[in-house]
Amino acid sequence: MGYLRDFKSQFKLKNFINYIVIALLTALFGTLSCVGVLEMSTQVLFEKFAYTLIMAVSLSLVVGFLGELSLGHAAFMSIGAYLGGYFQTYVIGDLNGNMPLLGIIIAMIVGGLAAGVFGFIIGLPALKLKGDYLAIVTLAFGEIVKTVFTNSETFGAATGLKTYRYSMDTLFIIGFVALLVILAVIQNLIKSRYGREITAVRDNEIAAKSMGVNVTRIKIFVFTLSAVFAGVAGAIFSNSQFNFKSSTFDYNYSIDLLVMVVLGGMGSLNGSMIAAIVITVLKTELTFILPGNLAALQNVAFALILILVVVFNNSPKFKPIREKAFGWARGLTEKLWSKIPHKNGDKGESDKGDHADWTEIPSKIKMDALLSTDMLPPDIVGAPEKTDKGEKQ
């Protein structure tokens, strides 16, 4: 009863908007799908939304909250797809006919655990590196995984792995339920003490170490957890295909995921999900607009989008535009929010607990100048003033 009372007193509707929106859309389109109204193309698109959103929020945990650049996230998805799909199709294949829901749950567990094991193994040596070096190692890991599956006869080699295809009517519903669970885990992790340690490591690793944070443990934990979620997304992907190849999980797919995280805002789960939906729709439409050899232009388009976003976010010339746009969006949000009745009043003065909006953690607290003050030369910090008669005492 005490837990329920504390939860009720600290409950804030705005922290659960993303859950409510996803749940309502899942219920609406799930009902339409079950009654046979939803078109097959829309069902397939929603399946893409489900596993792509999981991939986006899991990569955001590493890139946005931990601050490490990973270019091999698609490799963990491929591990979950291959191992989870193989186990579901060829080891427990009888369950697919009798209890398909149990079969896909087992596939997600197997795929997630397998990807988590590889994430832990790769994370041990790789996370001792930083920046470009870590990106190169994760990129190389992704290429190794793709090559191994391409040349493995057990997993279909170059022709691809034939897997069980789950029912289109309900697969995206299962995918969105898995997304809600993963989103709850990540948001509660970021809100917890461990989440504050994660963001502290991102903002300043030296300061985090000086405060007693085990940086290595935090990095490996986040990297492994992110790999587990990617493996779950891979198992969902395998259930959306009759046959798939390792070339699906190449370097370009990892770049697409990185673009989603950057476009949505570093450290913003909701932003990453919105960007994932937008890019998934764009890729689907561009497939029809740019067929055949012109499909290579898709990668050029996403590269240009990434460059433009980075320039817009960092160029001083665009600062007035950024402030005006963000101020307008913030004002509109506050205006809409003020129209929603709150039990504690519009200002929420009697709210208890953490008042921060923990669905979005801003990136890079400027601590470097503070930490380096004592290390500056004496003639810069604390130097005595000079006079005509010598030093002023």
DSSP string, 180-193: HHHHHHHHHHHHSH
Predicted confidence (pLDDT) per residue in 289-323, tens digit: 776 676 667 777 767 776 787 777 777 787 787 67
| pLDDT beyond 60 at 388 | no
Token pair belonging to 378: 């004496």
In contact, 126 and 220? CB cutoff 8 Å: no
Question: What is the rounded distance in angstroms from the CA atom of residue 11 to the CA atom of residue 291?
Answer: 49
Question: What is the rounded distance in angstroms from the CA atom of residue 237 to the CA atom of residue 235?
Answer: 5
DSSP string, 21-48: HHHHHHHHHHHHHHTT-S-HHHHHHHHH
Close Cβ partners of 256 (under 8 Å, ≥ 6 residues apart) = 279, 283, 302
Close Cβ partners of 164 (under 8 Å, ≥ 6 residues apart) = 85, 88, 89, 93, 96, 103, 239
Mean pLDDT taken over the chain:
80
Taking CA 52 as the corner, what is the angle to CA 49 and CA 54, rounded to the nearest 5 degrees? 105
The CATH T-level fold of domain 14-289 is ABC transporter involved in vitamin B12 uptake, BtuC (1.10.3470)
In contact, 220 and 302? CB cutoff 8 Å: no
Question: What is the rounded distance in angstroms from the CA atom of residue 183 to the CA atom of residue 171?
Answer: 18
| pLDDT beyond 50 at 123 | yes
> Which of the four pLDDT bands, split at 50, 70 and 90, describes residue 85?
very high
**Which residue from 75, 41, 40 is spatially nearest to 55, judged by alpha carbons?**
75
> Which of the four pLDDT bands, split at 50, 70 and 90, describes residue 389?
very low
- Cβ count within 10 A of residue 148: 15
Close Cβ partners of 146 (under 8 Å, ≥ 6 residues apart) = 75, 78, 246, 247, 249, 250
Alpha helices in the chain (DSSP H): 2-10, 17-34, 40-60, 73-86, 93-98, 100-126, 131-150, 168-191, 193-203, 205-210, 215-239, 251-264, 269-289, 297-314, 319-338, 368-371
Question: What is the rounded distance in angstroms from the CA atom of residue 205 to the CA atom of residue 356?
Answer: 23
Output the pTM of the full model: 0.79
Question: What is the rounded distance in angstroms from the CA atom of residue 6 to the CA atom of residue 1?
Answer: 9
Question: What is the rounded distance in angstroms from the CA atom of residue 26 to the CA atom of residue 185?
Answer: 19
In contact, 371 and 208? CB cutoff 8 Å: no
| pLDDT beyond 50 at 257 | yes
Specify the DSSP class assigned to residue 268.
B
Question: What is the rounded distance in angstroms from the CA atom of residue 139 to the CA atom of residue 35?
Answer: 44
What's the chain's Rg over C-alpha atoms?
A: 24
Q: Residue 390 has what pLDDT?
A: 47
Q: Residue 310 has what pLDDT?
A: 73
Q: Residue 28 has what pLDDT?
A: 92
> Which of the four pLDDT bands, split at 50, 70 and 90, describes residue 329?
low
Domain ranges of the chain: 14-289, 300-343
Question: What is the rounded distance in angstroms from the CA atom of residue 40 to the CA atom of residue 50?
Answer: 15
- The residue type of 339 is K
* Strand partners of residue 390: 387
